[in-house]
Structure 1
């Protein structure tokens, strides 16, 4: 994930939290993934129509890598052997499931920042906000919850 290589982990624009992938101990990346996919699986068991995604590690399953402060999740659909080709998808909290996103993570984040990316359930900048003024990334170390 190029974003992690360049910036590390943290919160983007005070809104999207990226989990620490190589952390050991209780709050490691795998803990977040397992908690998220377990929750998705439970919801899917009761309402499959509203939760249509397969769940990681199933082929084509949702592999979450970040979550928003609004309770939305961002992740990949593990389709095929090459993770660099896996489509990015949003699991929205307050909207119907949309299709996979057309671009990769960095381009998607730039598009959101510019106000040109729309994904079901994800926040969009206020039309009067200057995207440059609100660009921020707060990096975290192993003491962070995420």
Structure 2
């Protein structure tokens, strides 16, 4: 298991055995033309679907329940960026290229969403590197001043989440008392 995912298990007080989900990750290349980062795979296998503090949602190819897998899961997850988030960001980027500096997936090197919160902030991978384990995390903070609207963090998604949980001032999680609680999504 990825070291940062192991840290998240401790930070989120989840039993070490986790949910025991088994996603056929090797099918993602065929289904959507890309592989997902290893730390993300470990995270989903351990935690399944849900949200940190009930507020920072980590998208998943899983359907509800411990069996968790349904055909189309990878396509559904990627479609969230292509069909829902992408058109909005592409429109804003066309009008305000200085304020929206990144292309959206499936454009080469585009942003692929992996999470969001109730404030409308969005967490992405910047998919420019052919090795998904080297995709940095890019966060867009909705409503933030232009100079602080985007944040880029090297390292994977799990390392980024450890940093967020370790920073009591993180804007991605509003409530201090629930920030280290994993809330599984059963529906």
TM-score normalised over the length of structure 2:
0.62
SS at match of 2:89: helix
Which consecutive residues of structure 1, in runs of 5 or more, have no partner in the other structure?
none
Structure 2 counterparts to residues 1-146 of structure 1, below 5 A: 1=40, 2-23=42-63, 24=72, 28-34=76-82, 35-95=84-144, 96=146, 97-115=149-167, 122-123=171-172, 129=176, 134-141=179-186, 143=187
Asked if 1 retains the 8 angstrom alpha-carbon contact of 2:56 and 2:117, the reply is yes
Alpha carbons of structure 1 residues 66 and 14: separation in structure 2 relative to 1, 3 Å: same
TM-superposed CA distance for 1:124, in Å, is 5.6
Q: Greater CA deviation, 94-103 or 83-92?
A: 94-103
TM-superposed CA distance for 1:137, in Å, is 0.9
Which consecutive residues of structure 2, in runs of 5 or more, have no partner in the other structure?
1-39, 64-71
SS at match of 1:52: coil
Tell me how large the CA RMSD over aligned residues is. Answer: 2.5
- How many residues align structurally? 134
Asked if 1 retains the 8 angstrom alpha-carbon contact of 2:135 and 2:155, the reply is no
